[in-house]
Structure formats: C-alpha cells, structure tokens
C-alpha cells in the first residue's frame, strides 16, 4: 500500500531512478506585477541576488523539464517571452490570462499548451527552490506509486496556508489566511510547487472551477489549492525548507531570499 505521506526516510521504494525531462512541462503562473516591490514590470523580471526571478527559475528547471509554459498578463507577455526565449530558445510557450482572476484560472489558461505526461506547476516568484528537492519530488511522481499529484509541504509557525487532514490522514480542507480562515498557530503549508499527471489535472481542474469550492470567500479569486481535497491518489511530501516556501511578495521577502541565495552560493560556488 502506498502511504499518503512520503518523506525522504520512507521514499526509497517509490522513487524512479532518474528524472526524465522529456516527460515534463513547467507551467509557471507569472501574471503578477511587482508593485509591492516598487517595480512596475512583471514581477518575474525583478532582480534578486544578481539575477531576475525568471533567470533563477529557468536555471533551476531547464535540466528537468522539456518545455516551459508561462502564464502572463496582456502587458507582461511580450517582455517575459523575449527574456525567456533568450534563456531557453525553442522551449517557451506563452499563455495570456486576460484578467487577474486567481491561480486556478491562470493554470486553466496555460494547461491547454501542456503536451507532456507530467506537469510541474511552480508559482512565478518561488526563487529559492533547491534542485535536490525538485529532483526528489519528480522521481517520486514518476515512480511506481503513480500518484495523481504530489504536493510538497512543510510545517511552520503562523502559516499562511494549512492542509487540514481527516480520516486516514487524507487532506480534507485547505485553510487560507488571506480568505479569512481561522489558522492554527502551527500548520502544514504548501511551498508553491505542485506535480500532476497532466491527465489528472485536465480532469479535476474543470471540476474545481465548476464546483465553486475555489472561490475565495474574502478575495473572490479562483484559488487553486482547493483541488487537493478532490484528488484520489494524492501524495504529500513534507520535505521543504522555509526558504523554499517563501515567495517574493514584499521588500522584506526579497531581502530575506537574497540573503538565502547568496549564502547558498557561497556554500556551493
């Protein structure tokens, strides 16, 4: 029986031998602007520790994924496409999200351009992800368990997101601070990375959008995370570090992540 929670300690029997990039597309929702950072261009072009967020992400993902699909705003599409195509020529597709309606809608906009068996979703501001974390997760997803999805998590104080669990440890509900949910002092949070069998994502995302479960009670946005209680065959993997889970949403986030990235570079120049 495949456990619903897999860690580095109990994963050996479930891992594929290596990541096969031909099986993977990176789907990157990146329609946001950098206004809260004092940056009026697409946030993914904001520079941290000497490189743009786009450069950090492409450098991380290009050995692991055959193709990149960026979901962008109408005004952000041209500059990001130009920059991304210089970095990975011939491997970039652009989807436009006409209005900022939330991450579930952004993924819907980009999913039609995914042609590979597996989809790696990465929020377009997760700059501090580690190669060894992604390789572990992708090998787990390719492995004998054949999950519908793998969601890496971490436990943290004052969580912004919390995965509430019910019977047998199954994810039963997603709590979100920004939607006004009452949050625990310590909770299990996502890290802005999600792995799916593309077929399962294509099947369940319309169900999510039609159900109304994704509509935020406070923001009105179409949230993506409520897809997880709908899934059979979900594996959660509590392997992520706090730095990996932080998105670039404020000058304080940018300063913290710059410190983390520079420290990592000095450890592994």
Whole-Å CA distances, 13 to 1, 30, 174, 190: 11, 35, 29, 24
In this predicted structure, the answer to whether residue 268 has a pLDDT above a threshold of 70 is: no
In this predicted structure, the answer to whether residue 269 has a pLDDT above a threshold of 60 is: no
pLDDT tens for 183-202 read 999 999 999 999 999 999 99
In this predicted structure, the answer to whether residue 265 has a pLDDT above a threshold of 90 is: no
269: burial class by Cβ within 10 Å (0-12, 13-18, 19+)?
Answer: exposed
Q: What is the pLDDT of residue 145?
A: 94
- Across residues 5-33, what is the average pLDDT? 96
- Across residues 112-130, what is the average pLDDT? 97
pLDDT tens for 80-115 read 999 999 999 999 999 999 999 999 999 999 999 999
In a domain, 2, yes or no: no
The phi, psi pair for 79, rounded to 5°, reads: -65, -35
Q: Is pTM beyond 0.85 here?
A: yes
12: burial class by Cβ within 10 Å (0-12, 13-18, 19+)?
Answer: exposed
In a domain, 6, yes or no: no
Q: What is the pLDDT of residue 167?
A: 84
In a domain, 1, yes or no: no
pLDDT tens for 28-60 read 999 988 888 889 899 999 999 999 999 999 999
Residue 16 CA, chain-centre distance (Å), reads 21
Containing domain of residue 105, as a range?
22-255
In a domain, 15, yes or no: no
In a domain, 62, yes or no: yes
Average pLDDT, the chain: 94
Q: What is the pLDDT of residue 119?
A: 98
In a domain, 14, yes or no: no
Q: What is the pLDDT of residue 70?
A: 98
- Across residues 163-182, what is the average pLDDT? 93
In a domain, 44, yes or no: yes
In a domain, 206, yes or no: yes
Q: What is the pLDDT of residue 93?
A: 97
- Across residues 195-224, what is the average pLDDT? 96
Q: What is the pLDDT of residue 186?
A: 96
Find the length of the chain. 269
Q: What is the pLDDT of residue 264?
A: 83
- Tally of structural domains, the chain: 1
CATH assignment at residue 119: 3.90.550.10
- Across residues 126-148, what is the average pLDDT? 96
């Amino acid at each position: 029986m495949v456990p619903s929670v897999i860690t580095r300690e109990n994963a050996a029997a479930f891992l594929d031998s290596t990541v096969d990039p031909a099986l993977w597309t990176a789907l990157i929702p990146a329609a946001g602007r950098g206004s809260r950072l004092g940056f009026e261009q697409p946030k993914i072009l904001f520079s941290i520790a000497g490189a743009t967020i786009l450069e950090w992400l492409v450098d991380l993902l290009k050995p692991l994924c055959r193709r990149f699909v960026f979901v962008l705003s109408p005004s952000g599409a041209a500059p990001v496409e130009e920059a991304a195509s210089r970095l990975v020529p011939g491997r970039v597709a652009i989807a436009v999200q006409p209005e900022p309606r939330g991450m579930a809608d952004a993924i819907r906009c980009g999913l039609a351009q995914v042609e590979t068996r597996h989809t790696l979703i990465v929020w377009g501001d997760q700059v501090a992800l580690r190669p060894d974390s992604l390789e572990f997760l992708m090998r787990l997803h390719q492995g004998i368990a054949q999950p519908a999805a793998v969601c890496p998590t971490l436990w943290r104080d004052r969580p912004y997101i919390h995965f509430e669990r019910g019977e047998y440890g199954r994810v039963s509900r997603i709590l979100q601070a920004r939607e006004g949910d009452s949050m625990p002092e310590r909770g299990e949070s996502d890290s802005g990375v999600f792995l799916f069998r593309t077929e399962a994502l294509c099947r369940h995302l319309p169900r999510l959008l039609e159900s109304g479960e994704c509509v935020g009670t406070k923001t009105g946005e179409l949230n993506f995370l409520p897809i997880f209680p709908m899934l059979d065959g979900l594996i959660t993997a509590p392997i992520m570090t706090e730095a990996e889970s932080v998105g670039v949403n404020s000058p304080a986030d940018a300063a913290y992540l710059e410190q983390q990235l520079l420290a990592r570079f000095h450890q592994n120049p």
